[in-house]
Amino acid sequence: MRVYLLNNTKPYREGDEEYSGAWFNCPVDFEEIREKIGVEHEEQIEIADYELPFDLHSDTQLWEINANCRMVLELEGTPIGNEMKAIQQKWFSSFEEFIDHKDEIRYYDVGDGAALAEYLIREEYVFGEIPHELLKHIDYHSYGSELEMDDRYLFTTSGVFRYQ
């Protein structure tokens, strides 16, 4: 995760070799910004580019970028972190909304709809307790196909997610 910050007190002029800006790894330390691009106050920086799993505006505050990056780092390596973009696109209009509701997302470590159907029926008893002799007659593939069309579920290569 990184951002390209410009010193907006030094505009680019033709003939200059480069912009008065630099890439910074996130979370960003203001002292590093001060040293690299020569600013004294946060108001003197502008976001010119970024490589982040969330969107920014050119006037997004540094503390907000850092807070979001820390959230991403917290989720890194988890199933929700691995599929963050897909989850956000499916159910949320912003990164902040995703973060606010991340604890309401359920993860199932299954590969397809049939496996999810079997898990829900056998382990979570979605239809109540079913006698053992009837379990072998359930069409998990058919029920799984229904689940795959349900907007509450997101099927990914990492597993299945559910948001209510």
Residue 12 pLDDT level (bands cut at 50, 70, 90): low
Helix, strand or coil for residue 61? coil
Q: What is the tens place of the pLDDT at every residue in 36-72?
A: 988 898 888 889 899 998 888 777 889 999 999 999 9
Q: What's the pLDDT score for residue 14?
A: 54
Q: What's the pLDDT score for residue 11?
A: 63
Q: What percentage of the chain carries pLDDT values higher than 70?
A: 95
Q: CA angle 126-131-133, nearest 5°? A: 125
Gap between the Cα atoms of 87 and 101, Å rounded: 11
Residue for token pair 């795959």: 148
Residue 17 pLDDT level (bands cut at 50, 70, 90): low
Residue 13 pLDDT level (bands cut at 50, 70, 90): low
Q: What's the pLDDT score for residue 18?
A: 59
Gap between the Cα atoms of 129 and 121, Å rounded: 8
Gap between the Cα atoms of 105 and 89, Å rounded: 14
